[in-house]
Amino acid sequence: MSEKQVAVIGAGASGLVAAIECARNGAETTLYEAGHRLGTKILKTGNGRCNLSNSAIEPGWDFKGYNNPEFVQGALGELYCAAIRRFFESIGLLTFEDSEGRIYPVTNSAASVVEALAWECRRLRVYIKTDCKVHGVRAANDDDRERLGAQGDWVVTVDDGSEAIFDKVIVATGNSFKVPSRLGLPIDSKSFVLGPLATSGNATEAMDGVRIRARVTLRSGGEVAFSDTGEVLFRKYGVSGIVIFDCSRYANYGDEISLDLVPFLSEEELATDLEARNERYRMLRQTSKALLAALSGLIHGQAIPSILDYCGVDVDDPPKELPVDDLAFALKNFELTIADLPGADNAQVTRGGVSTEAVDGKTLESLGRLGIYVCGETLDIDGACGGFNLHWAWASGLIAARAACSS
């Protein structure tokens, strides 16, 4: 058992787990948190339910749900979904898997996840310092050791000017990169992912609030960069929903998103369906109402005017025939151009942070600053929706803590 003095900076998902694991390994652990409460961001996750892992993370999985699959696979080792569920069980929090492999607490409450983590920290006598923003960490010298009356290699300085000395420091500051940057760790540039996409023009304006299960294909530089089927939520400004959040991880300004709004029909089936609708439309005397009625039952009513507009059809001046070919094309290839990417205010995850090349791939220890470990979102790792980001946060907290206490 180690008797090290360890500082964990940041009491979010990765920092709370790291603090627990350090204390379990016998370290005297101090947990610094800038905010007033522990685990504030965890409370917002999974719409307040906390989707904390995903059963896809098991032996044999390809880790392609992450931006840097090889690094994540190498670092996680055996820390698959089952291991994270066992960790939570060990702190009294039971979990369940939904039909899509997402793991939630049985309470369906993110607050109970924070409670369980916080109580375990208290039970293990982790020294918790809230409202305590760390300004920086620097190498200790003999003067520091004498002045602070302790051995150790790293001095943690808090914004109020107070200082303390530690053997090891775990940086778990989420998407705030000031502490690692002041330590001189290389930082990959910051961008925001897992958020809605604004699109140019007003093609989605009248569809605000409509949800359609669609196949989403993103083209970037002429190549298909992303393709998946899921519920698209149309907004005045563009598109949202889980499949769009996942798409945002690959999107650039000006890229085209193509939506297949009827993925349940093949092109032939759609052509047959539209011919039958055209027959009914002819019998309904080609009025504006008939035009809208002809397509209802195939696509959400609020979306029909936008789709007709996309085909160049004026609802107030209905044509004699349904433009079957144009409609078939529009329904299978409703194209939107990305005008804006997610930002700090509406993205779930920050890409960028400490470069994975600057840390040991097994221990997450900084290669240039021995004794400093980096975990969670502070490292340049991001994953898809579905519990992959929190899985990385908990698991990397465990990895950093185990390494900090064993070396």
Binding site for ligand FAD (CB under 6 A): 9-15, 32-35, 40-41, 44-46, 51, 133-134, 172-174, 176, 179, 348-349, 376-378, 387-390, 393
Q: Among residues 96 and 264, whose Cβ is nearest to ligand FAD? A: 96
Distance CA 366, CA 274 (A): 61
In angstroms, what is the minimal distance from the CB of 151 to ligand FAD? 23
- Given a contact cutoff of 8 angstroms between Cβ atoms, the answer to whether 39 and 15 are in contact is no
In angstroms, what is the minimal distance from the CB of 56 to ligand FAD? 12
- Given a contact cutoff of 8 angstroms between Cβ atoms, the answer to whether 157 and 134 are in contact is yes
Angle (deg, nearest 10), helices 388-406 and 69-76 = 50
Report how far apart, in Å, the C-alpha atoms of 169 and of each of 174, 238, 263 are.
15, 43, 51
In angstroms, what is the minimal distance from the CB of 135 to ligand FAD? 7
Q: Among residues 34 and 75, whose Cβ is nearest to ligand FAD? A: 34
- List, in sequence order, every residue forming a beta bridge with 238; answer none if it has no partner: 198, 235
Q: Among residues 23 and 270, whose Cβ is nearest to ligand FAD? A: 23
In angstroms, what is the minimal distance from the CB of 123 to ligand FAD? 20
Q: Among residues 13 and 20, whose Cβ is nearest to ligand FAD? A: 13
In angstroms, what is the minimal distance from the CB of 230 to ligand FAD? 15
Q: Among residues 88 and 281, whose Cβ is nearest to ligand FAD? A: 88
User: Both tokens of residue 38?
Assistant: 């522990």
In angstroms, what is the minimal distance from the CB of 165 to ligand FAD? 17
Per DSSP, the residues of 166-177 read ESEEEE--TT--
Q: Among residues 371 and 387, whose Cβ is nearest to ligand FAD? A: 387
Report how far apart, in Å, the C-alpha atoms of 155 and of each of 137, 147, 401 are.
6, 11, 18
Residue nearest to ligand FAD (CB): 12
37: CB partners within 8 A, 6+ apart: 130
In angstroms, what is the minimal distance from the CB of 29 to ligand FAD? 14
Element (H, E) at 402: helix 388-406
The three-point CA angle 159-44-214 to 5° equals 135
Q: Among residues 260 and 377, whose Cβ is nearest to ligand FAD? A: 377
In angstroms and rounded to an integer, the radius of gyration of the C-alpha atoms of the chain is 26
